[in-house]
Amino acid sequence: GAGVSQSPSNKVTEKGKDVELRCDPISGHTALYWYRQSLGQGLEFLIYFQGNSAPDKSGLPSDRFSAERTGGSVSTLTIQRTQQEDSAVYLCASSLGRGKNTIYFGEGSWLTVV
């Protein structure tokens, strides 16, 4: 597609359940990023992929959070045993890779944990 595509756009889940959020980057973009935005807050870095490897996982808030990327394209962010504080917008972004400065974001997945 023309832009970064994320699904689902909205997800309401019960506390304790697992959720998977999907990101389809812009075609040809080798770098992929996950960020989290809580209500009224700026964005918080979670993880960065270059190809299928993740050089920087420093932003993952706990071991309940994991992400993978296969085939150098689609990425999945998984949150296990969700907690209410996980409620946020999860934004995915992609870019052409190192040395390329324009990072394009998707519209986000709104997660609500009840």
Partner 1 sequence: AQKITQTQPGMFVQEKEAVTLDCTYDTSDPSYGLFWYKQPSSGEMIFLIYQGSYDQQNATEGRYSLNFQKARKSANLVISASQLGDSAMYFCAMREGPAGGTSYGKLTFGQGTILTVHP
* Contact residues for partner 1, defined by CB under 8 A: 31, 33, 35, 41-45, 48-50, 55-56, 58-59, 89, 91, 93, 95, 98-108, 110
Cα-flanking dihedrals φ and ψ of residue 86, to 5°? -80, -10
Provide, for the chain, the percentages of residues in helix, strand and coil under a 3-state DSSP scheme, each rounded to the nearest 5: 5, 50, 45
Q: For tokens 């709104």, name the residue.
A: 110
Burial class of residue 81, CB neighbours in 10 A (0-12, 13-18, 19+): exposed
Q: Which is nearer to partner 1, 82 or 95 (CB)?
A: 95
Whether the upstream peptide bond of residue 25 has omega within 30° of 0, thus cis, is no
Q: Which is nearer to partner 1, 11 or 80 (CB)?
A: 11
Q: Which is nearer to partner 1, 30 or 80 (CB)?
A: 30
Shortest spacing between CB 55 and partner 1, in angstroms: 5
β-strand partners of 47 = 34
Shortest spacing between CB 81 and partner 1, in angstroms: 26
Q: Which is nearer to partner 1, 79 or 108 (CB)?
A: 108
Shortest spacing between CB 66 and partner 1, in angstroms: 17
